[in-house]
């Protein structure tokens, strides 16, 4: 059974390369894949030998008519959960958002979250950050994103649907749309 390690920071990326069969890079946009793979390969060199199967970002997904279909609370809720885990000073997802240029917005988000205002925290999340780090929108948009990940060297792409839909039919709809997008993208094996 392959073991995949969720990793964002440099040390955890190297650990993924050292001990795991795969990598779950939540919130990793296509333009950040090369940097992550460099760290993973460094860990691979110091760890066990094996196939280079460590490229597998897992992105929150939402499907809708418009490109910004992920403006809904469901997908934002997934971001609130992950960005709100533990100590904000040590949360790797917050660090990633800061590194991507969203430091001010993350501080507003964290302030509202600390005040117990989850809705306000969700509203403070920059839509551009969500857009860059998710698979969201209509099928052609999903296909474009899948092509971008493939061009960045991704060999496996996870689709996170847990909070993007609240019903089984909604979750199945996201999976069907993702399958349709994969076919349309031309990058399927």
- Summarised one tens digit per residue, pLDDT across range 140-177 is 988 999 999 888 888 888 888 766 677 888 888 888 98
pTM, whole model, 2 decimals? 0.81
H helix intervals, the chain:
10-19, 33-46, 73-83, 92-97, 103-114, 118-124, 127-132, 139-151, 168-185
- Summarised one tens digit per residue, pLDDT across range 52-70 is 554 566 676 766 655 455 4
Average pLDDT over residues 114-131: 88
DSSP summary character for residue 23: E
Q: Which of 100-104, 131-135, 140-144 has the lowest mean pLDDT?
A: 131-135
Q: Token pair for residue 51? A: 């196939």
Q: 50, 21 in Cβ contact below 8 A?
A: yes
Run of H or E including 22: strand 22-24
Collapsing DSSP to helix, strand or coil, 5 comes out as strand
């Amino acid at each position: 059974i392959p073991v995949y390690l969720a990793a964002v920071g440099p040390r955890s990326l190297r650990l993924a390369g050292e001990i795991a069969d795969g990598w779950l890079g939540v919130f990793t946009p296509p333009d950040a894949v090369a940097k992550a793979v460099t760290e993973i390969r460094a860990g691979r060199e110091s760890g066990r030998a094996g196939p280079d199967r460590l490229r597998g970002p897992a992105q929150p997904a939402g499907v809708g008519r418009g490109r910004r279909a992920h403006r809904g609370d469901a997908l934002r809720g997934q971001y609130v959960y992950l960005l709100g885990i533990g100590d904000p000073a040590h949360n790797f997802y917050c660090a990633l958002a800061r590194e991507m240029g969203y430091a001010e917005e993350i501080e507003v988000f964290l302030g509202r979250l600390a005040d117990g205002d989850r809705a306000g925290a969700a509203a403070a999340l920059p839509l551009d950050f969500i857009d860059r780090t998710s698979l969201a929108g209509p099928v052609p948009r999903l296909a474009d994103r899948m092509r971008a990940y493939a061009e960045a060297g991704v060999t496996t792409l996870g689709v996170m649907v847990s909070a993007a839909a609240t019903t089984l039919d909604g979750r199945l709809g996201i999976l069907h749309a993702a399958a349709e997008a994969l076919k349309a993208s031309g990058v399927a094996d």
